[in-house]
Amino acid sequence: MKTLLVAIDRSMMARKVVALASTQALALRASVVVLCCVDASCACGPLEIEAGEDPSEYGMARDEQNTAEAAVRQALAELQRSGVTARGRIVAGEPASTIVAEANRLQAMMIIMGRRQLNSFNRLLKGSCSAAVIERASCTVLVDVRVD
């Protein structure tokens, strides 16, 4: 089956990216893996999350992992309501390289992600994750740039 990798963070842009992913997954008859990266210093290993799992079945995680888990669970619920087969994954690491590595591991046909509207200074200081993913990915990258 075709797989789409949807990279989200804990921003408001995530809902728009998930809506775009839902449309693409239904059109392509693909399953979705929702990926959220956490800081590499996080002591957590990769965390797999299935759509429809009850979060109360699992112990509470540290703050960053906990907020990432909440974002992934929300995305999975939205995808499931749309009729999309999806699962989630939280991985510690630098976002751009982690997204590309996960896409390669999954043999994803497409990466779907958002783009923050960084000003020139912040782009210089932090770099653009979406630009780095586009440069490194071996599959199609769809970037949602809507700011509405």
In CATH, what number is assigned to the domain containing residue 118? 3.40.50.620
Q: Identity (one letter) of the amino acid at 40?
A: A
Q: What's the gap between Cα 28 and its chain centre?
A: 18
Tokens describing residue 49:
């999350």
**What does the mean pLDDT of the chain come to?**
85
The 10s digit of each residue's pLDDT in 74-83 is 999 999 999 9
**Residue 130, amino acid:** S
In the numeric block, which tokens belong to residue 44? 């957590």
Report which DSSP code applies to 11.
Answer: S
Compute the average pLDDT of residues 133-137.
95
Is the model's pLDDT at 139 over the cut of 80? yes
- For 27-39, the pLDDT digits (tens) are 999 999 999 998 8
**pTM for the model:** 0.84
How far, in Å, CA of 105 to CA of 101, rounded? 6
pLDDT band at 57 (very low <50, low <70, confident <90, very high): very low
Count of domains for the chain: 1
Q: Pick the closest to residue 67 from 96, 47, 51, 84 (CA basis).
A: 47
Q: What residue numbers bound the domain in which 9 lies?
A: 3-123+132-144
- 3 state SS for 89-135: EEEECCHHHHHHHHHHHHCCCEEEEECCCCCHHHHHHHCCHHHHHHH
pLDDT of residue 102 exceeding 50, the answer is yes
